[in-house]
Amino acid sequence: MKNQKTWVAVILLGTVAVNTGAYLVMRSRRAAQAPAPSTPLVARVDPAAPGNTRPAVAAPSDDAKAGLARARRASGLAALEDRDYTRAVTEFTEALSLRNDPNGDVVELLRIATDLRAREQARVTKAPEPRESSTSKSVPRTRAARLAAARAQAREQQQQAQASEAGVERKGLLLVTSTPPGLVVLVDGKELDMTPARLSVTAGSHRVVLAQGDRHLYSETLEVAEDSVRSLNRDLTAELTPPASRSAPVAVPVVATSSAPPVAAAPVGGLAPGARSPDSTPPPEPSVAKAAVAQVAQRGDLEVTSPGLYGEVWINNRPYGFPPISAQALPAGPARVEVRVNGEVKRRMTVDVEPGRSTRVRVR
């Protein structure tokens, strides 16, 4: 028994020793095969050394952003015409993020697209349930009931025919935008709104005019289909740029005079019949140049700026455009200045125009 126990203990100890040795050998081999940790190499570039200059990464320019914003805006307008309001909202949102102009027309276009998308979703969710057809009703059995049902059906068909002839007025949506915004929109000769404008018009052909005051800057005939969106966008910056003012030369009449006017010899025996005496010569009339100078001296200029309010400037009930503006040759004295937004007067003041001077006005 003792010999058996001894042999068992020896076998167990030998097995443990062999396994331990094998584990140590395998561990040493793995440690030898493992790659050494790589040390990051930092390249040092001498800025003074020639040929080691690194090209600077050019930051995206504002012109590229502006061009991308215009492309997004045009894509949004095309989506509105295709009645894809979801894509229009996405395009206008991207254009607004690129332009970052809270006072531009993209904000109004985004609001219009969002409103149209909400209406489309509401119309889809609230679709009318199909009316029960007259044929599905129970057929009356008696003759009197059949006659009454036939009369009611004929009356209903007549009412439907009259309603279809009268019909609900077919309409479409017209979007009018301009650069710069704030121009008056006339549709078929009627002033309806100012750009950017969203107009609900009847389906058909319409004459659209963009105007500033009494000036018609652009006109076009558009065909608006039923339940469709038609857009009109024009850049009228060149038409709104005032031409360079040139001072008109004042014609000054030149009167040739001599130092000693010739004296005609008087005939013997008095003056000839029809001749006038030198004392009866009428006095000369005032010079036209003096009158023109006096008239110019009674007028002055007015420069109007409005950094906090963007609207059309009216002076003495006449439109002068959007600020900053320079109104020249105004009559001296009190002048009424108004700033109108969408035809509504937002600011009103009275300014004294000084003759021969330029007065500056800042609207807050």
Where does a domain end: 182, 215, 240? 240
Q: Is 116 a domain residue?
A: yes
Write down the pLDDT at residue 261. Answer: 46
Q: Is 143 a domain residue?
A: no
Q: Is 214 a domain residue?
A: yes
Q: The domain containing residue 326 runs over which residues?
A: 290-362
Write down the pLDDT at residue 14. Answer: 84
Task: Determine the average pLDDT of the residues in 260-280.
Answer: 45
Q: Is 193 a domain residue?
A: yes
Most confident of 73-82, 98-107, 244-253, 254-263: 73-82
Write down the pLDDT at residue 34. Answer: 60
CB environment 92-124: b (16+ within 10 A), e (fewer): bbbbbebbeeeebbbebbbebbeebbeeeeeee
Q: Is 164 a domain residue?
A: no
Look up the CATH number of the domain holding residue 341: 2.60.40.1120
pLDDT band at 120; cut points 50, 70, 90: confident
Reported as a single tens digit per residue, the pLDDT across 32-75 is 776 555 444 444 444 444 444 444 444 456 677 888 888 888 88
| pTM recorded for the entire structure | 0.34
Task: Determine the average pLDDT of the residues in 78-86.
Answer: 87
Q: Are residues 235 and 176 in the same domain?
A: yes
Q: Is 330 a domain residue?
A: yes
Q: Is 194 a domain residue?
A: yes
**Is the pLDDT at 125 greater than 50, yes or no?**
yes
Percent of the chain with pLDDT over 70: 69
Write down the pLDDT at residue 129. Answer: 54
**Is the pLDDT at 262 greater than 50, yes or no?**
no
Reported as a single tens digit per residue, the pLDDT across 166-199 is 555 678 888 898 888 888 899 999 988 888 888 8
Structural domain count, the chain: 3
Q: Are residues 296 and 235 in the same domain?
A: no
Tokens in use for 94? 């991207």
Reported as a single tens digit per residue, the pLDDT across 94-116 is 888 887 776 678 888 888 889 88
Reported as a single tens digit per residue, the pLDDT across 348-360 is 989 888 888 888 8
Task: Determine the average pLDDT of the residues in 155-172.
Answer: 72
Percent of the chain with pLDDT over 90: 6
> Mean pLDDT over all residues of the chain?
74
The total of other beta-carbon atoms located within 10 Å of residue 131's CB is 6
Where does a domain end: 125, 141, 163? 125
CB environment 32-57: b (16+ within 10 A), e (fewer): eeeeeeeeeeeeeeeeeeeeeeeeee
Write down the pLDDT at residue 35. Answer: 56
Task: Answer yes or no: are the C-beta atoms of 88 and 80 closer than 8 Å.
Answer: yes
pLDDT band at 277; cut points 50, 70, 90: very low
CA distance 122 to 116: 10
**Is the pLDDT at 156 greater than 50, yes or no?**
yes
pLDDT band at 210; cut points 50, 70, 90: very high
Most distant CA atoms of the chain, gap in Å: 194
Task: Determine the average pLDDT of the residues in 309-317.
Answer: 85
Q: Is 248 a domain residue?
A: no
Q: Are residues 304 and 358 in the same domain?
A: yes
CA distance 72 to 101: 14
Task: Determine the average pLDDT of the residues in 291-299.
Answer: 60
**Is the pLDDT at 312 greater than 70, yes or no?**
yes
